[in-house]
Amino acid sequence: MLEDRPGDPELHFLYGSARVATGSSSQGLWSLRRAAEAPGFELRAGVEVARAALMSDDAATATEAATRVLAREPDQRPALDIRAEARVRKGDYAAALDDTARLRELDPASGEVELVRLRALIGLHRIDEADALFRELEQRSRAGELDLAPDRYCAARATFHAERGEAERAREGFERCLEEHPADPLVLDTALDFFDSRGDADALVKLLRRAVELEPVAVQARQELARRLRAAGRPEEAEQILLAGTALESEGVPAHHWGALARHYFELGAYAQSAEAWARVVELVADPGSEVLLSYADALALAGDHERALEVGARLPDTHRALLRGRILFEERRPREALAALDAAIRLWPDNPSARYYAARVAEVSGDFERAISEYRASIRSGAEVTDAGLRLGRLHLSEGAYEAARFALYQHLEKHREDAEAWALYARVEARSGRRERASQVLARLGRVPGQSGRALVEAAALLAGAKGDAAAVELLSGRSAAGAAPGPNDAAVLRSLVAHLARAGRAGEAVARARAAAEERPGEALLHEILGSALEAAGAPREQIEAAHARALALAPDHAASLCALARLASAHGETDAAVELYARALAGAAEWSAEEASIGRDGARHLIAAVRHAEAAALLEDLLWRHPIDAAIAELLAEALRALDPRSERAQVLERRARRFGGSR
C-alpha cells in the first residue's frame, strides 16, 4: 500500500509500528519519523519513534523523540518510561532520576520504575542511597507490594557491588545472572561492561560460551561471542559459532544469524560470501525490509556483481535506489555521476546518514575536501552509529593538523562505536600530537580493553614512548610481553615485531635477531614470526642469503604474505634486479586488503622503486589507482606529482597534487 500511497502518514505509522512489534525496530524508524511529522500523529508516532530507537540501542534519539512527545503531553506514561530508560543508558543519570520521580507519582507500585531509579543512583555513585533502596525494594517485594523483574534486579545488584569496589562479589553476581538469564539483553550488556572494564576478555568469552550452551537460541549472546572471537583474531571460530546458529530450529533465529554471518563476512572483506548470507536472509524472511535489501545489494556491489545489485535495488524505495546507484557508480569510479545520484537521495531524505556519508566519500576521492568535511559532519549529526564517518573525518583532520576538530569527530564516533580499535588508536595519536601525552596514555589503556587489542595498545604506547624518550624506553616497555616464543597470536606477534624494530633502532640489532629467532624456532608454523626474523636480519645487515631464507620460510607457510614479498623486493632492487622487484611488489600489493594502510605503504614503496628505475608512466598509473583509495595520503600525492612532472614538466595535475600534499602534511 505504501508503494501506491508513499505520503500516507497512517500507513507509515502502521508499517513502522509493525516493524517495531516484530523486532525489526531499526527498519521501522524511517516510516515512524515520517508519520510523526504529520498533524494528528505527533504523539502516537512520536512514542513509537522513541521505542524503536531504544530497541535499536540509540538512546540519544530515543530521548529526543520522547522529549518531543512530553513537550505536548507532560504526563504521557510510555514516553516517560522510555525517556527514563534512555537517559540511564546514555549516562544522564540525574535527568533519569527526575523522570522516575514523576513516574513514581503516577504509578507507585511499578517495580520497573524503581529499578531504573536504582540504576540511576548507582550511576551517580550515590551508593548509600542505592543500598537503602535495595533494602526497601526487597521488603516491598516480599510483602507483595512490588513486582520486580528478576533479571533486571539481578543485574542491578551485581552492578551495585561493582560500584562499591566489591569486585569478587560483582563477578559472582554477573556470573549468576548470566547462568539464570543467558538470553536477557540487559543482563548481557551490564556483564559485558563489567568484564570489559576489568580487561578480562578470556573470562568473558568463557561466560558467553556458557550462555550459548545454556540457551542456544540466545541471539545476542551468540553474536557477541562471535564478534569478540573475530576481534581476537579468531574469525574461523566466529564463523562456526554463527553457522551453528543458522541451523537452529527456532522461529526467526536462523535469519538473525544469517544476517550476523553476512555482517561477519563483510567485516572481513569477504563480500561475495556476505552477499550469499544476505541471500539466505531474504529467502527466510517474508518481508526483509529496506535495510536488509540495501545491505544485500551493497555486498553484491562490493563483490563486483553490479547487475544483481541493481536487481535487488529495484525492490527498494526511491531514496534507497538512488543511494545504491550512487554506491555502485562510486565503485565504478564515476564520481560525477555518483555524486549526482547521491544528491538525488539527499533531496529525497536530507538526514539520511548513509547518503551523506557516501557523498563525503565521493567528494574526498575527487579532491573536494571542503564538501567532504561538510557531508561527513552531516552524516554524524544524522546518525553517527550508522557509518564510520567520524573515524574518516577524524583521520582527515589529523592529517591536516586540525587536532581539535579531529578530537571532536573521533569523540562523536566513539560514543556510538565503543569497540572501534582503529578509532581509539587514532584518538591517542591526536592527543599525543597535541602534546597531551598523559591523556594519550589513558586512551591507549581504553584501547587495551577492546577485545583482542591489548597487544596493539602496547605497540601504540611503545611508539609514543619512543618519540618522547627514545627507543630504549620502548624496548623496556615491550620486553616483558615478548619473551622468546611468546607469540601465540596476531597481537603478540605485533608486539614482537615492534620490539625487534625498537631494538634495532636502539643499536641492539643482535639482540633483535636473537629474540626473533627464538620465537620462530619455538613456533615454526607461524609465518609472521619468520617474517619478523627476516626483518631483524635485514636491520642487522645480515647476508642476503640469510634474509631471503627467513622470508622464504614465511612464504612457504603463507604464499601471499605481503611483508615478506616487500622485503624480497627491496633486496632485489638493491641488487639491480628491477624486473624481479617490480613483480614482487605487484604480488604484495595484490595480496593487501584494499583501502588498508598496508596497501598504501606497499604501493608507495613500489612506486618509489619504479620512479628510481625511470619508469614514470607505470609509477603514475599505480599511484593514480592508490590515490583513489587513499586521497589524503600526502606521500602518494607527492610521488604522483613527481611522476607526472617527469612525464610533463608543465603538468597542471601535478600542481593540484602538490597543493593537496601540502594540506595533508607533505614534505614540500
DSSP 110: -
- Write down the pLDDT at residue 489: 47
- Write down the pLDDT at residue 232: 78
Write out pLDDT tens, residues 242-258. 999 999 988 778 998 99
Q: Nearest-CA neighbor of 429 among 437, 421, 417?
A: 437
* Range ranked top by mean pLDDT from 116-120, 129-133, 530-534: 530-534
Q: Which CATH homologous superfamily contains domain 1-90? A: Tetratricopeptide repeat domain (1.25.40.10)
Write out pLDDT tens, residues 189-238. 888 888 877 777 778 888 888 889 888 988 888 998 998 888 877 899 99
- Write down the pLDDT at residue 24: 63
- Write down the pLDDT at residue 26: 62
DSSP 97: H
Which residues have C-beta within 8 Å of that of residue 13, sequence separation ≥ 6? 31, 32, 35, 41, 44, 45, 48
Average pLDDT taken over every residue of the chain? 89
Model confidence, pTM: 0.76
Write out pLDDT tens, residues 491-515. 578 899 999 999 999 999 999 999 9
Q: Is 398 helix (H, G, I), strand (E, B) or coil?
A: helix
CATH of domain 474-559: 1.25.40.10
Positions of CATH 1.25.40.10 in the chain:
1-90, 474-559, 573-668
- Write down the pLDDT at residue 485: 39
Cα–Cα distance between 230 and 260 in angstroms, integer? Answer: 12
Q: Which CATH homologous superfamily contains domain 573-668? A: Tetratricopeptide repeat domain (1.25.40.10)
- Write down the pLDDT at residue 135: 77
**Angle 460-462-463 from CA coordinates, rounded to 5°:** 65
Cα–Cα distance between 29 and 38 in angstroms, integer? Answer: 15
More confident residue, 490 or 267: 267
Write out pLDDT tens, residues 39-98. 888 888 888 888 888 877 778 888 988 998 899 888 889 999 999 989 988 888 999 999
Cα–Cα distance between 88 and 120 in angstroms, integer? Answer: 6
**Angle 293-294-297 from CA coordinates, rounded to 5°:** 85
- Write down the pLDDT at residue 192: 83
Q: At what angle do helices 111-123 and 93-106 cross, to 10 degrees?
A: 160
- Write down the pLDDT at residue 621: 96
